[in-house]
Structure 1
Amino acid sequence: MSIKALITHIQELVSAQSGLAGLNLGLVNYGVPTKLPAIYIDGLTFLDDKLNSHTFNLCYVTTDLSIEQLDYAKLILAALQGSPCVQAQQLLPRPEPENKRNRWIIPCVFFPRALKA
Structure 2
Amino acid sequence: MVKKSNCPLCGHTLPKTSKVMIDEKSGYLVADGIPVFLGGKLITVMAVLQKANLSVLTRDQIMNHLYVTDADQPFDRIIDCFVKRIRSHLKEAGIESVGIQTVYGIGYGYLEREDEKHV
Fold match (TM-score > 0.5): no
Give the TM-score taking structure 1 as reference length.
0.41
Greater strand share, 1 or 2? 1
Higher fraction of helix: 1
Greater Rg by CA: 2
TM-score, normalised by the number of residues in structure 2 = 0.40
